[in-house]
Amino acid sequence: MAARRLKIALSYDGHPYFGWQVQPGLPTIQGTIETVVSQIEGKPVAVAGSGRTDAGVHALEQVAAFTLENPIPPANLKKAMNRLLPRDIRVLSVEEVALEFHPRFQARAKTYEYRIWREEVCPPFLRHYVHHFPYALDEAMFCRAARLFEGRHDFSAFSAADDKDELGGSKVRQMFEAEGRREGDRLLFRVRGSGFLKHMVRLMTGGLIEVAKGNLTLDRFTALLDPAPGDKQVHAVPAAGLFLISVEYSSEPA
């Protein structure tokens, strides 16, 4: 059989999982998908993702890819995967792509959204899907500071201490759009960028909250985007409020 490369779009509830990446003995998104695809193929199949998501982080749309010899048509593969997967992971689409397609190296942009619940009582149905923060915040400042992430910056101050410096050590990334806004009882931070460091969106949101609490001036906040070594002034907000919204590819081989 000729090898075929399949690109899939997925949505998942990150709450029951220890993140995307395979970890022996722990339930992960990647591990769960590999089990199901390997079952369909009849032998072990490795699944590559567009990037990792941390434990508890959700995806409206994540992209992954794998290589099969099984000639199953894409529409049937989607059905078979959804039959075998737990209901907290769903395959949204399947398409055949060029053999050299890699969902991480060819990703051109990713969009994340962080969701903060501002009312005193958080609806029970949202408890795993928002960060409940009902305390005083200057939301106009939150939104003003959010815009400052746009452009090309060194995000060292907004990356985990143990980040593995995947792009040869550079922590420079480009943010195409970054916006804070109120939507009903939720305060949202949405950011579209060329790539993201470990914990980056949760640290960015943590920084915006420090500004909105009055703990960090806009000047000091701006200075964090061109950081001196040792700057560590922001803390990551919880994983539950974070959603990977979409992954974009420029010229998709087909």
Q: Which positions are catalytic? A: 54
Amino acid, res. 219: D
Contacting residue, 65, 91, 97, 107, with its own copies by CB under 8 A: 91
Nearest-angstrom CA–CA distance, 81 and 108 = 27
Q: Between 6 and 45, how does the x/- string for binding to its own copies read (CB under 8 A)?
A: -----xxx--------------------------------
Work out the angle at residue 99's Cα, subtended by the Cα atoms of residues 97 and 105, and round it to the nearest 5 degrees. 85
Binding mask 180-199 for its own copies (x = CB under 8 A): --------------------
Residue among 85, 23, 83 at smallest CA distance from 54 = 23
Place of tokens 């991480």: 104
Q: Count the alpha carbons within 13 Å of 163 in the hemisphere toward its beta carbon.
A: 20
The reply on whether position 58 binds its own copies by CB under 8 A is yes
The full DSSP string for 205-245 is HHHHHHHHHTSS-HHHHHHTTSPPTT-----PPPGGGEEEE
The footprint of its own copies on residues 119-148 (CB under 8 A) is 121-125, 127, 129
Residue 117 binding its own copies, by CB under 8 A:
no
Question: Please, which residue, 85 or 201, has the CB nearer to its own copies?
Answer: 85
In angstroms, give the least distance from the CB of 121 to its own copies.
5
To its own copies, the closest distance from the beta carbon of 83 in angstroms equals 12
Residues at the interface with its own copies (CB under 8 A): 11-13, 58, 82, 87-92, 121-125, 127, 129
